[in-house]
Chains A and B, each alone.
Chain A
Amino acid sequence: ILNVEQSPQSLHVQEGDSTNFTCSFPSSNFYALHWYRWETAKSPEALFVMTLNGDEKKKGRISATLNTKEGYSYLYIKGSQPEDSATYLCARQASGSRLTFGEGTQLTVNP
């Protein structure tokens, strides 16, 4: 993996469904993995920052895991709601403060 890659690119689910997305990143020279939530016409909002292999973070119905050895992170949403509709971005932080963002997963939750 040379760049930060996210899958799927887009996802449509029904209200109440649980869902998850993947972020893959180069495992070398890794410092931190960031997840952001980005609603249309707004600015990216930080969800989680994870640094250690095996880290798990949770905020309400949203949780994330991190595997730095194999270079991936999962974001889970339990019981999706229409207000969860947004683009979910992950970003890898290597040396320094530069973040490299993936292209995001666009989630649409249908009522």
Chain B
Amino acid sequence: DAGVIQSPRHEVTEMGQEVTLRCKPISGHDYLFWYRQTMMRGLELLIYFNNNVPIDDSGMPEDRFSAKMPNASFSTLKIQPSEPRDSAVYFCASSFTQGWGETQYFGPGTRLLVL
């Protein structure tokens, strides 16, 4: 398996623009997680899905952020409008039948810079 795939790997945009990050989880995994990594806050969970349904979005910072999972093999994280403080590395991770202790497999991340 190719692992978790994220695109783009790098994104530079201007404040106010819409940004869409994409993720393809590992085939057969039924959980998908979106994380954000910053110097100030470390690695924090934004939202996660189970069987394409959002389960916990309490980490989504504000209404400018939205995430969708239209099918088992694709998810998007959208920021509209983007702001400089959104600059971070965004990771997608997936896992299988999370009960107690299943490993989350991380993608390579998208490095976002908002000017």
Contacts and interface: CB of A to CB of B under 8 A. Distances in A.
Interface of A: 31-32, 34, 42-46, 49-51, 89, 93, 96-104
Interface of B: 4, 31, 33, 42-45, 48, 50, 55-56, 91, 95, 98, 100-109
Contacts of B107: 43
A97 B103 contact: no
A49 B101 contact: yes
A43 B56 contact: no
Nearest to B58: A98
B101 A99 contact: no
A42 to B, nearest CB: 7
Contact of B104 (A42, A46, A104): A46
B50 A46 contact: no
Contacts of B108: 42-43
Contacts, number: 53
B109 A97 contact: no
Contact of B100 (A93, A98, A102, A103): A93
Contacts of B109: 43
A96 B108 CA distance: 24
B44 A49 contact: no
A44 B104 CA distance: 9
Most buried by B among A43, A96, A98, A102: A43
A45 B43 CA distance: 14
